[in-house]
């Protein structure tokens, strides 16, 4: 883990803070319980007085919006809240245009702040709106899903989906502050919590074997919301992501490691129409198991490694095989077509994140499509043969 990532977590009663080291655009990720009610003060002291417009979705609004509005009103900075429909379909051009116009109507000017309050869908959409509004206004991420707290709220990738694929329109636009109130996770459906956990485990699998071993021992405490375990899981994940983003903000190299399991996973998500049939984290869980099995099949990784990964994911209730995708199963041509749509294709070769061991992922740019199709055919045949 990078020494460049400042660790100022020792503050006894305050939130844990991880700095994303991006020079003049560096920002803090604050992690801890009860932060929502502190938000007005945290924003005012760290970012100065600014008109704040909240963007959220109906599920988050129902449970937590009143607390956030109160906190902002106490500082006199709340100018309005925009509540959108929950779900991936909200990350679209058709929602982006009225959102931008609504933010302008609320008087968000160059000095204003967009407050993205929700999961990755709201963070990606509101962050992109902030990136293009008046050629860029500041925004604050207040992530309310585990996935958003450990992944999507950190690193500045914002954007929307189109008919051609996910996240194909977007911008790098870093937030000015991230406030991860761990108490908000208590209202998250179990399935969403598990899906977010897949991204937590990803950090162990890609670069931190000791963290993965810790998760194998302590995952029950994380799911039981034991404060120390939950905070450690989130903080370790955020530090890992902050370090990678600090070294490779625009994904010229190392940042691609964060896509472990994503080439397969995105294809499964696309096959399921980005619906509740398969959540992003579930698709990535299967994708990571496949990435390890594929690494073994290519002789890059010791036999048995993928089994260790699958055993852990199965223990927490995550899917580990394509046969667990509900409904019709994808076939090899369909998957190859969907992976071809993946924006990581270069000159007919596929980019995969492979692994030499737990905690040792690497970027392979030269994977021949036929090795992939053979592997997928064996996976599918193996599943139907059991």
Q: Is residue 24 packed enough to be buried (19+ CB in 10 Å), middle (13-18) or exposed (0-12)?
A: exposed
Decide: 100 and 132 in contact? Cβ < 8 Å: yes
Task: Mark whether 259 is an active-site residue.
Answer: yes
> How far apart are the C-alpha atoms of 166 and 154, rounded to whole Å?
18
Interacting residues with ligand NAD between 48 and 77 (CB under 6 A) = 57, 59-60, 63
Residue 175 as a binder of ligand NAD (CB under 6 A): the answer is no
Residue 166 as a binder of ligand NAD (CB under 6 A): the answer is yes
Beta bridge partners of 31: 16, 180
Catalytic hit among 138, 173, 262, 312 = 262
Task: Mark whether 226 is an active-site residue.
Answer: no
Task: Mark whether 365 is an active-site residue.
Answer: no
Q: Report helix angle 332-340 to 369-385, nearest 10.
A: 140
Residue 265 as a binder of ligand NAD (CB under 6 A): the answer is no
Please state the separation of Cα 121 from the chain's center in Å: 10
Residue 88 as a binder of ligand NAD (CB under 6 A): the answer is yes
Decide: 146 and 316 in contact? Cβ < 8 Å: no
When binding is defined by CB under 6 A, the residue of 15, 32, 118, 246 that contacts ligand NAD is 118
Task: Mark whether 135 is an active-site residue.
Answer: yes
Which helix (H) or strand (E) segment holds residue 114: the answer is strand 113-118
Looking at beta carbons, which residue is closest to ligand NAD? 120
Residue 266 as a binder of ligand NAD (CB under 6 A): the answer is no
**Rg of the chain in Å (alpha carbons):** 20
Task: Mark whether 255 is an active-site residue.
Answer: yes
Least distance between ligand NAD and beta carbon 221 (Å): 20
When binding is defined by CB under 6 A, the residue of 2, 94, 162, 187 that contacts ligand NAD is 187
# of chain residues touching ligand NAD (CB under 6 A): 30
How are beta strands 78-84 and 52-57 bridged, if at all?
parallel
* Residue linked to tokens 């560096």: 26
When binding is defined by CB under 6 A, the residue of 152, 237, 305, 320 that contacts ligand NAD is 152
> How far apart are the C-alpha atoms of 339 and 153, rounded to whole Å?
25
Write the DSSP assignment of 63-99 as a string of letters: IIIHHHHHHHHHTT-EEEEEEE--SGGGSSHHHHHHH
Task: Mark whether 186 is an active-site residue.
Answer: no
Catalytic hit among 78, 202, 239, 280 = 280
Task: Mark whether 262 is an active-site residue.
Answer: yes
Residue 173 as a binder of ligand NAD (CB under 6 A): the answer is no
Of 34-42, 80-88, 243-251, 328-336, which segment contacts ligand NAD by CB under 6 A?
80-88
* Residue linked to tokens 């592997």: 375
Least distance between ligand NAD and beta carbon 149 (Å): 9
Q: What are phi and psi of 317, to 5 degrees?
A: 95, 20
When binding is defined by CB under 6 A, the residue of 103, 140, 147, 242 that contacts ligand NAD is 147
Least distance between ligand NAD and beta carbon 64 (Å): 6
Active site residues: 135, 157, 199, 241, 251, 255, 259, 262, 266, 280
Q: Which residues would be at the binding site for ligand NAD (CB under 6 A)?
A: 57, 59-60, 63, 86-88, 91, 118-122, 124, 144-145, 147-148, 151-152, 155, 157, 166-167, 184, 187-188, 192, 195, 280
């Amino acid at each position: 883990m990078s020494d460049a990532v400042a660790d100022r977590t020792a503050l006894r009663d305050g939130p844990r803070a991880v700095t994303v080291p991006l020079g003049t655009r560096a920002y803090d990720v604050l992690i801890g319980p009860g932060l929502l009610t502190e938000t007005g003060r945290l924003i005012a002291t760290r970012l100065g007085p600014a008109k704040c417009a909240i963007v959220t979705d109906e599920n988050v609004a129902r449970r937590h919006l009143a607390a956030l509005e109160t906190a902002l009103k106490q500082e006199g900075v709340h100018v309005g809240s925009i509540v959108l429909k929950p779900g991936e379909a909200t990350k679209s051009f058709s929602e982006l245009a009225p959102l931008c116009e609504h933010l302008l109507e609320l008087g968000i000017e160059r000095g204003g702040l967009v407050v993205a309050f929700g999961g990755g869908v709201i963070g990606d959409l509101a962050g992109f709106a902030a990136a293009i509004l008046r050629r860029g206004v500041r925004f604050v991420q207040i992530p309310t899903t585990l996935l958003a707290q450990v992944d999507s709220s950190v690193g500045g990738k914002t954007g929307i989906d189109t008919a051609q694929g996910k996240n194909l329109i977007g911008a790098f636009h870093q937030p000015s502050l991230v406030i991860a109130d761990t108490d908000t996770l208590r209202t998250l459906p179990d399935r969403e919590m598990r899906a977010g956990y897949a991204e937590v485990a990803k950090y162990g699998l890609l670069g931190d074997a000791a963290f993965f071993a810790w998760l194998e021992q302590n995952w029950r405490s994380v799911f039981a919301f034991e404060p120390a375990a939950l905070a450690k899981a989130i903080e370790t994940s955020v530090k890992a992501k902050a370090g990678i983003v600090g070294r490779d903000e625009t994904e010229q190299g190392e940042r691609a490691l964060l896509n472990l399991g994503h080439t397969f996973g995105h294809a499964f998500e696309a096959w399921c129409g980005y619906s509740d049939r398969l959540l992003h984290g579930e698709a990535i869980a299967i994708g990571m198991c496949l990435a390890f099995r594929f690494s073994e099949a290519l002789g890059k990784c010791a036999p048995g490694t993928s089994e260790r990964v699958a055993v852990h994911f199965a223990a927490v209730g995550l899917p580990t095989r394509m046969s667990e995708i509900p409904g019709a199963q994808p076939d090899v041509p369909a998957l190859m077509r969907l992976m071809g749509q993946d924006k990581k294709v270069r000159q007919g070769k596929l980019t995969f994140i492979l692994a030499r061991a737990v905690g040792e992922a690497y970027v392979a740019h030269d994977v021949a499509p036929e090795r992939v199709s053979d592997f997928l055919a064996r996976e599918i045949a193996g599943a139907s043969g059991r």
